[in-house]
Amino acid sequence: MALLFASAALLVAFWLIERSVARPMLDLTLFRYPRFVGVQLLAAAPAYAFVVLLILLPVRFVGIDGMSEVAAGKMMIALSGPLLALPVVAGMLTRWFSAAVICGVGLLISAGGLFWLSTMPASQPLFLIAPLLTIGIGISLPWGLMDGLAVSVVPKERAGMATGIFSTTRVAGEGVALAIVSAVLSALIGSRLGSGTDGAASAAQRLVTGDLTAAASLMPAIGRDRLALGYTQAFSSLLVLLASITIFTAVVVVAFLGRKEPAIEAEASACESPAA
């Protein structure tokens, strides 16, 4: 708790210093641009709609569902494969649709895939391919536009600062999302096993890491099948939660990215004028 309070105090101090110096390391005034804020939310969206699945799904496939490592790897191709080509397609679609619409639709498709995956039985691995593809297809659309948007929504002379903030948000968001999602999954598993039951919390933590054998040794009276069922139900609930967050993010991103920035528009008009 002392470390948490100390980190909060340092964060406030950092904010005050960055607002007062002439050349801040982190230019907080960029957050006055609504479209820039929308890009930061867009950078965080793949963290909980896609990146966390890159960690959690192989753990589930191998540790809980009993797949081989090779079979689990093949399943993950359905999730990550679309990112090899569709980001380029997203760039081409900007000829006919705004970036806000493309990103919003992509996030909604990804949310649909997350919800679809929550309804699929773990006993039928082939049924998981279609929702995994849907998630990958959906997240590929904003993925192909995020880097360009990061520098296009602020004045040109501040593009370097915008890129730095965007990269930090993207990487930090992935680490924070994985920590939070793992903790939520552990809590959901614990509630399925019985929060007041001896060893439930420890068993839930073992199940999050895919160690079904260790979880069964902590709760021998329940048995492996019930532990696996509790994990599967908790994972489905987690996917529904992630789908809901992704839908909310899609709405907010479209609302922010769809706005016009008067300062940037004026700059663009000046550059296009004959006098320029």
Domain holding 161: CATH number?
Answer: 1.20.1250.20
In a domain, 138, yes or no: yes
In a domain, 70, yes or no: yes
Task: State the average pLDDT over residues 102-124.
Answer: 86
Residue with tokens 């609930």: 237
Task: State the average pLDDT over residues 210-237.
Answer: 82
Number of domains in the chain: 1
pTM for the whole structure = 0.80
For residue 186, the enclosing domain spans 31-260
User: What pLDDT sits at residue 274?
Assistant: 46
Q: How far apart are CA 48 and CA 32, in angstroms?
A: 25
Task: Please write the tens of the pLDDT for every residue from 167-216.
Answer: 888 888 888 888 899 889 888 888 887 765 666 788 888 888 888 888 77
In a domain, 269, yes or no: no
Give me 247's structure tokens. Answer: 């839908």
Task: State the average pLDDT over residues 242-250.
Answer: 90
In a domain, 272, yes or no: no
**Which has more pLDDT, 276 or 14?**
14
Q: How far apart are CA 1 and CA 25, in angstroms?
A: 28
User: What pLDDT sits at residue 176?
Assistant: 87
In a domain, 16, yes or no: no
In a domain, 52, yes or no: yes
How many whole angstroms from its chain centre is CA 274? 44
